[in-house]
Structure 1
């Protein structure tokens, strides 16, 4: 099932010099239902059936709440400390179990295309780089010596170090919400499959803005929120599955311009998005001015040192295991439907 990608991707573009507090258009999702987004100024173009709409946005303040989805929302992977232990074991089989159903090589290359990795001398940071699967796509275009892989999991990074094409990359442990890079450092910021673990995604995207040079581009690849009720339930109790409008809002509030969202997914889904996608979209934005983000945030909300109540953790753990099982079975289910249902018919 590797080397397959979604046939027909969508790209949403926020116009320059706009600071929306959401999106503002109605379009069609890939299985015929309507997606209604809040107001903004946007062009929607796609090889699937979108309707084009352009609306006037409402401008938002430069000082906003840290996250539009509170970190107190119950999720199995509630914070980085839990994710650390999650990957302590998942790292053993990550490349062989997770990627074939959710993050194939062709999907990776399709998702990285908007990042415009056009110069082998670019400085690139791969945040939440894990086992280096996404980094392998980056070093096709950029010299490995100019690429830094950052992740909080030493077990994931150990897998990256074993990969020959990545031997010249800098590999460091670090926090996506508190990056160890100077301001105006990198030409490109890439993060794939990491935002779902961030307690405060707005803060992580603000950090992406800070570390980029003037004119630098951020490319964030992550999941999309499901519409099917059971998938939505498991997504919400497991980890963060942002909506498309949340991605655009976070980028815009951080100060990025030319914000675009490109839909991605496995080919055998035939574009169906109702179950959500672990890797469902690639969002890009350009840094328009040197220095830190204009967005002002308060202190971090997360306290990873706070003791865990075992009576609270246990039901979350059980729900998390069920959710992980569900999102492992969904791509198999969709693959089987793709084999059985005649081409051209909805699945």
Structure 2
């Protein structure tokens, strides 16, 4: 199996959704007991956007470079080749529940069934099921780099009329000023360059259109930070805001989300931890200029290094499968009203 996996990785032609090898930010995360579970964070206005104002102590800054073993397109492709088998039954129940999904999509203002919506990194279509509650399926496009995830989406009756395509979040196959809404859930953590992906979100939206990106938040618990930095990108809340602002979005807001049984505790890290929205103020492409892409998917890979990174990344991912089990048990054992 390892041999076929590595041979397939070398010849891989698919492109997809992941995060930058060397990115440094000055921002920091928020400790779980400072905010309730689901609220719009307070903000102040300036000429460009609404900026988060921390109300509690800040965590230490991350190093400029991290290993992040499931961070490149080829690694993510093969990671989801196997995870797609159990994704809806293992990941979603712990980190991305139906009530979380509906709350996270609320700021996207999906109020018209005729809206044209693109769901980028749509995977198995779990988030799309929330979108088609408000928008006709024939007006929704699901895009993902993983044919294995998309195969799961195609099996869902409610999504039969959706357009389903393979594609790259950093190079979307849609014309400029195309969509009324852009939605992406659980995808940004795999983008080699989140800023480039958000720039693309700006480009494909119509004037007045809204982007909604749902993703993880950086944990403050030391062990969770260790495994987060091994596995994939867990952005800090202010990083999301900065990426949106630089891309040209206005009226940027961030909403915290999490399973009810976390009781608002976020220090262990959530695979889905916040929903960020921004409005496109002008037609056309983003004013932001960027250089070449961070990753060349055609570049040959060292088989041993690839396999080692894949195994270490899978081990780190296992930790975040166990975290919700731990939190669920605490919720059952600790009396209601007491902090966990």
Instruction: Say whether the fold is shared (TM-score over 0.5).
Output: yes
Q: Which residue of 1 aligns with 2:54?
A: 26
Pick one of 37, 41, 47 that aligns with 1:17.
47
TM-score (norm 2): 0.85
Shift of 1:150: 0.4
With over 3 angstroms needed to count, the CA separation of the structure-2 counterparts of 1:19 and 1:286, relative to structure 1, is closer
Q: Which residue of 2 aligns with 1:224?
A: 217
Of structures 1 and 2, the one with the larger relative CO (CA 8 A, separation 6+) is 2
Q: What is the aligned length?
A: 305
Shift of 1:16: 5.4
For the 8 Å contact 2:181–2:210, the answer to whether it is kept is: yes
For residues 302 and 268 of structure 1, the distance between their equivalents in structure 2, rounded to whole angstroms, comes to: 38
Pick one of 114, 132, 135 that aligns with 1:139.
132
For the 8 Å contact 2:75–2:306, the answer to whether it is kept is: no
Pick one of 283, 303, 317 that aligns with 1:324.
317
For residues 321 and 247 of structure 1, the distance between their equivalents in structure 2, rounded to whole angstroms, comes to: 25
With over 3 angstroms needed to count, the CA separation of the structure-2 counterparts of 1:36 and 1:24, relative to structure 1, is farther
Q: Which residue of 2 aligns with 1:93?
A: 86
Pick one of 272, 275, 288 that aligns with 2:281.
288
For residues 14 and 145 of structure 1, the distance between their equivalents in structure 2, rounded to whole angstroms, comes to: 39
In structure 1, runs of 5+ residues without a counterpart are 1-5, 29-33, 39-67
Q: Which residue of 1 aligns with 2:25?
A: none
Pick one of 234, 259, 264 that aligns with 1:241.
234
Shift of 1:24: 5.9
Q: Deviations over 1:142-186 (max 9, x none)?
A: 000000000011111111011111000011110000000000000
Q: Which residue of 1 aligns with 2:105?
A: 112
For the 8 Å contact 2:145–2:167, the answer to whether it is kept is: yes
With over 3 angstroms needed to count, the CA separation of the structure-2 counterparts of 1:284 and 1:306, relative to structure 1, is same
**Secondary structure in 1 aligned to 2:168?**
coil
For residues 152 and 298 of structure 1, the distance between their equivalents in structure 2, rounded to whole angstroms, comes to: 22
Q: Deviations over 1:214-251 (max 9, x none)?
A: 00000000000011111001101110100001000000
**Secondary structure in 2 aligned to 1:246?**
helix
Q: Which residue of 2 aligns with 1:270?
A: 263
For residues 83 and 26 of structure 1, the distance between their equivalents in structure 2, rounded to whole angstroms, comes to: 33
For residues 227 and 194 of structure 1, the distance between their equivalents in structure 2, rounded to whole angstroms, comes to: 21
Q: Which residue of 2 aligns with 1:35?
A: 58
Shift of 1:317: 3.0
In structure 2, runs of 5+ residues without a counterpart are 1-34
Q: Which residue of 1 aligns with 2:203?
A: 210
With over 3 angstroms needed to count, the CA separation of the structure-2 counterparts of 1:276 and 1:8, relative to structure 1, is closer
For residues 39 and 108 of structure 2, the distance between their equivalents in structure 1, rounded to whole angstroms, comes to: 16
Q: Deviations over 1:2-36 (max 9, x none)?
A: xxxx974121346352269xx563313xxxxx237
For the 8 Å contact 1:125–1:147, the answer to whether it is kept is: yes
With over 3 angstroms needed to count, the CA separation of the structure-2 counterparts of 1:188 and 1:116, relative to structure 1, is same
**Secondary structure in 2 aligned to 1:11?**
coil
For the 8 Å contact 1:19–1:253, the answer to whether it is kept is: no
With over 3 angstroms needed to count, the CA separation of the structure-2 counterparts of 1:24 and 1:106, relative to structure 1, is closer
TM-score (norm 1): 0.83
Pick one of 251, 256, 260 that aligns with 2:249.
256
Q: Which residue of 2 aligns with 1:337?
A: 330
For residues 179 and 60 of structure 2, the distance between their equivalents in structure 1, rounded to whole angstroms, comes to: 32
With over 3 angstroms needed to count, the CA separation of the structure-2 counterparts of 1:318 and 1:36, relative to structure 1, is closer
